[in-house]
Structure 1
C-alpha cells in the first residue's frame, strides 16, 4: 500500500470511544476507510460510530477490554469478518492516565491497572494482529505511547514505565518487520486536549496542572491523528508531534544525567492533591 496505507484502509482502532482514538477513527473514515472501533466505554464508542456514520463513513463498534487477550482475539476475528479481509492498519491506542504519587507510595493496584491497559493492551494487540498482517504480506501498526516514555517525569512511575514499554515494543517490532511491507509507527505526544487527565488514577493536583497546560499549549486530538497518519504513510517510525516533546527528546538523548536532575527539581513544583 506504500504511501497510501492510511487511505481506503480497513482499520482497527482501540480506545476509539474518545480522545485520540476517536480522532484516529474519524480521520481514517474521512480518508475513505472502513473502521472497526473498540473501547470499554460503550456510550462513547456508539458516539464515535454515529459521528462517522453521520459524515457518510462506515464503522462498527466492538466492545473490548484490551487487558484481556481473549477479548482482543475476539476483536481480531470480528474485524476480519466485518472487513472481509485482514486489516490494513491496526492502531493500538487504548490507554489511561496515572500519576501524582512517588514510587513506593503509588498503590500496586494503580501500577497493575496502568500497565495492564497501557502496555499489556498494546502487547496483546501486536501479538494477535501482527501474524495476520504478516500472512497478508502488507499493512501497518501504529502504537500510541507518550513523551512520558522518555521524559520520565517524577510522580508518574506507572505511566512512564507503561509508555516506555510501548516505545521499546514498537522499536523491536519495527526491527523484526524491516524489509517487509508492514510499517510500524509509535506516537509520542506531550499534552493533547483529551479527557485522559480525568482518570481516577491521577491525583487532583497533578490532573489540574496537566489540564491547564493542555488548554494553553496542547494540540487537538484531530491534529495529532492527522499528523501521525501522514507520518505513517511516509514510513516514519517515530512521531513526536509537538515542539516541547522534540526538545525534551533531544535533551534527554544528549544530556541524560543533567536532564534527570533537572526533571527532579522541576517535579517539586507539581502541586499535591
Structure 2
C-alpha cells in the first residue's frame, strides 16, 4: 500500500527531532493535512513550540522529551504512542546531529554521539514502531539521511559515515518490509537552512570562523525547511527508495552512480564551505 499524504485525516504520524527545522516543518505539514501526531525531541522548549504550532491548526498532537540514542526512552515513546493512537501510518526518523571536521579531528566521544543519534536513533525508532506497522500491514517509514550519505564529505567524515549507514539500512529495510506493504524511503536533503550548522560541534581550525562561514553559506542558499518538508512528503507519495531533495543532492546522487571520480571532486569542492 502506497501512503498518500495529501489527506492524512485519521492517519497517525510520528516524527522524531520535531523541535526544530525539517522535523518541525514535517509536523506542521502533516497537521495541516489532518494527521494525528506523536512527536519527540530532546529539546523540551523546541518541542513545546512545535506542539503549539500544530495544535493551533486543530491537530490532535502529543509530545515526549526523548533522546533517540536512548533505547529505553524510545521504547517508552513507542509503547505510549501505540497504546494511545495505534500503529503509525507514517514514521519519520528525523533526529540527527553533526560534527563538522575531518576524521582525524573527530574524537571518540564525537563518534559515540554521532553513532548513537544518527544510526542507533534510527534503529531505535524502527524497533519501537515498525513491528506494529508490519503486523497491521501498510504505512511508510522515512529515515532522514543526508546528501553526505550519498557522497562522502571530508569535512563531515563521521557524519558522512553515519548517513551512509542510514541509506544502507533503509534500502535493506525497504526490501524486508515489502511483503508487509510498508514502504521505506531514505531522504537525502542537501543544503537546507536549519539550525544544525549553528548547533554542530566544529573540530579543527578556527571553529568560530568556520561556523560563521557555514551558517552564512546555508542562509544564502535559501532552501527552507518548509520547502524540504513538502518535498519529503512528495517522496512518500511516490514511494521513493532514495529521495534527494535539494538540487545539489540530486546532482550528487546521479554523479555518485555514473561518474564516481567526478563526484569525489565535487565533494572536495563542497567541503571547502566548512574549512
Q: d(CA) in 2 for partners of 1:197 and 1:270?
A: 11
| Counterparts of 1:217 and 1:197, CA distance in 2 | 13
Aligned to 1:147: 147
Counterpart in the other structure of 2:93:
92
Cross-structure match for 1:124? 124
| Structure 1: gaps (5+ residues) | none
Distance 1:117 1:246, change over 3 A: same
Q: Partner of 1:11 in structure 2?
A: 13
Which residue of structure 1 aligns with residue 68 of structure 2? 66
The counterpart of 2:34, out of the listed 12, 32, 35, is 32
State the match for 1:76 in structure 2.
78
* Deviates further, 145-154 or 217-226: 217-226
User: Aligned with 1:248: secondary structure?
Assistant: helix
Aligned partners of 1:144 and 1:188 also within 8 Å: yes
Q: Equivalent residue for 1:158?
A: 158
Unaligned runs of 5+ in 2: none
Q: Counterpart in 1 of 2:171?
A: 171
- Counterpart CA distance in 2 for 1:16 and 1:123 is 17
Q: TM-score, normalised by structure 1?
A: 0.92
| Count of aligned pairs | 269
Contact persistence 1:98–1:199 (CA under 8 A): no
- The CA distance in 2 between the partners of 1:225 and 1:198, in whole Å, is 20
- Quote the Cα distance in structure 2 between the aligned partners of 1:145 and 1:125: 14
Moved more, 66-75 or 179-188: 179-188
CA contact (8 A) 2:66 2:74 kept: yes
Within 1, Cα distance between the matches of 2:197 and 2:82?
Answer: 33
Matches within 5 A, 1:1-273: 2-4=2-4, 7-8=8-9, 9-83=11-85, 85-100=86-101, 102-202=102-202, 203-261=207-265, 263-264=267-268, 267=271, 269-270=272-273, 272=275
What is the Cα deviation at residue 197 of structure 1?
0.7
> What is the DSSP-based 3-state SS (H/G/I as helix, E as strand, rest coil) of the residue aligned with 2:105?
coil
Instruction: Note the alpha carbon deviations across 1:23-58, whole angstroms, 9 max, x for none.
Output: 111111111001001001001101100111122222
Q: What do you get for the CA RMSD once the two structures are aligned?
A: 1.8
Aligned equivalents of 1:3, 1:114: Cα separation in 2: 31
8 Å Cα contact 2:100-2:274 kept in structure 1: no
Describe the SS at the equivalent of 2:150. helix
